[in-house]
Structures are given as structure tokens and as C-alpha cells.
């Protein structure tokens, strides 16, 4: 579902106060009634920035996602992809150049959602047995690590 049409209810589950008088935002949390291409692009860039920062290609202090829902993040990606497809099709017909955008994989979107909505903890969000791997578990957690821990972890992976 692309959120190009106006929503009936806020996806954050806000009380049924309805939309603001101008009909553009939720009265409770300010969520947009319809996601614009510009807003979708901002969201996609913010998610991609997290990946670039983790690869050492960006600056700390990335744009915040403002508590967006997972659905809003996935919809933003779909809107940007649809917009890029329209631009490509028009460029094929006219022969002019065009710009496309980097979009995050769904796994990156899910990771960005987890980082946005869960605080670092010693507890796992999920711990699921890992097949016949000797009693091991696959674990999903949000942990806090300082730069030295990150460097040591990178060396372990490289070695």
C-alpha cells in the first residue's frame, strides 16, 4: 500500500482525534495524512545514511527517523522506487537523462526501525534456536559499543 492517498486514521494508533483542521497532519503526533515524494525521499536518505555511517562513509549525527513506523519506512521506499520507475520510463521515451535514488534493502529498513525504537540493553529482542548448531541461538539485540569495541570486533571479523 503506497501512502499517496490520504489515510483515514493515523498509523501510530493515536486517539481518534482526527486530522488537523487543514487535513494534512494527525492532531496528536503530527504524522502526515499523505506521504509526499519529498518526504519519502527524506526518509529513504535518512535510512541509507545509517548504513553509510556504519561503513565509515558518513558522519555521525545522522538524520533521525522521528519514531516512524515500519510501514511508513517501507512505504517511503516504495514511493521512491515508483517515482524512479516513472522517471526512467519517461527518459526512455524522450531520450533525456535522469536521476535515480539509492534505496535501502528491506533488511536495512528493519534494522533502522529496530535502532529507532529499541534502546541498548543486555537483553535480546529475539533469541531463536539455530538449527543443529550445538545448542546455539540466533540473537537480535541492540547493544551499545564504544569505538574501541567496534574496532576490536572488526579486527576479529577480518582475522
> Which pLDDT belongs to residue 1?
33
- Residue that wins the pLDDT comparison between 19 and 58: 58
Angle of CA points 21, 22, 26, to nearest 5°: 70
User: Distance between CA atoms of 35 and 147, rounded to whole angstroms?
Assistant: 37
The per-residue pLDDT for range 89-118, each reduced to its tens digit, is 999 999 999 888 999 999 999 999 999 889
Q: For residue 144, give every residue at least 6 positions away whose Cβ sits within 8 Å of its Cβ, in sequence order, or none.
A: 120
The SS3 call for residue 150 is helix
Residue 100 near residue 84, CB atoms below 8 Å: yes
pTM here is 0.71
Amino acid at each position: 500500500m503506497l501512502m499517496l492517498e490520504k489515510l483515514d486514521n493515523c498509523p501510530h494508533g493515536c486517539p481518534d482525534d482526527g486530522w488537523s483542521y487543514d487535513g494534512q497532519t494527525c492532531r496528536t503526533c503530527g504524522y502526515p495524512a499523505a506521504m509526499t515524494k519529498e518526504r519519502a525521499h527524506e526518509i529513504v536518505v535518512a535510512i541509507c545514511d545509517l548504513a553509510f555511517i556504519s561503513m565509515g562513509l558518513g558522519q555521525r549525527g545522522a538524520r533521525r527517523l522521528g519514531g516512524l513506523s515500519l510501514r511508513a519506512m517501507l512505504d517511503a521506499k516504495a514511493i521512491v522506487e515508483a517515482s524512479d520507475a516513472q522517471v526512467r520510463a519517461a527518459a526512455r521515451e524522450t531520450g533525456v537523462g535522469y536521476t535515480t535514488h539509492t534505496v535501502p534493502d528491506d533488511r536495512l529498513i528493519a534494522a533502522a526501525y529496530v535502532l529507532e525504537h529499541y534502546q541498548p540493553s543486555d537483553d535480546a529482542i529475539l533469541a531463536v534456536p539455530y538449527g543443529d548448531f550445538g545448542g546455539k541461538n540466533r540473537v537480535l539485540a541492540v547493544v551499545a559499543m564504544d569505538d574501541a569495541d567496534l574496532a576490536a570486533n572488526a579486527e576479529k571479523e577480518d582475522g
